[in-house]
Amino acid sequence: MQIDLLHFTPWASLAGGILIGLATALLLLANGRVAGISGILGGLLRPTRGDIAWRVTFILGLFVAPLVWLSMRAMPPAQIDHSPALLAVGGLLVGIGTRFGNGCTSGHGVCGIARLSPRSLLATACFLAAGFVTVFIVRHVLGR
């Protein structure tokens, strides 16, 4: 088995994890809100007065931060091997899953586990199991 050193980035990964932890802690302390992307985006679809600016800022940050990182040439170019239709179907399935799971991996996996929420621990275990099964089926059963 060959190790791909281009994708082995422990320091960048550690820094990213620390920044995610700090951002979620600050959002919880400053606004009393959990940094779950599906909940933040869902709140924009049914806005409440005085609750829009921080949500828009948060979502914009999700788009701006990778562009800044890319501009520093610190990120390898993305390679997408699947059709836009397949990506759209995958995104739709993820969206449906977040509704059934009452949250997404960021809300349950980062914030919920940090708060030792039993529901979030179970949800995150289900997310991971579904991912493992999906990868196994796609790579070993369908042979892609």
Residue 123 vs residue 105, higher pLDDT = 123
Residue 5 vs residue 46, higher pLDDT = 46
Residue 97 confidence (pLDDT):
83
Examine the pLDDT at 2 and tell me if it is beyond 90: no
Share of the chain above pLDDT 70, in %: 92
Residue 60 confidence (pLDDT):
94
SS3 content of the chain, % helix, strand, coil (to 5): 70, 0, 30
> Token pair for residue 2?
């060959």
Number of domains forming the structure of the chain: 1
Q: Which residues of 78-111 are buried (b: 16+ CB within 10 A; e: fewer)?
A: eeeeeeeeeeeeeeeeeeebbeebebbbbbbbbb
Examine the pLDDT at 41 and tell me if it is beyond 80: yes
Domain residues for the domain of 54 are 5-141
Secondary structure of 47-66 in HEC code, one letter for each residue: CCCCCCHHHHHHHHHHHHHH
Distance CA 45, CA 38 (A): 11
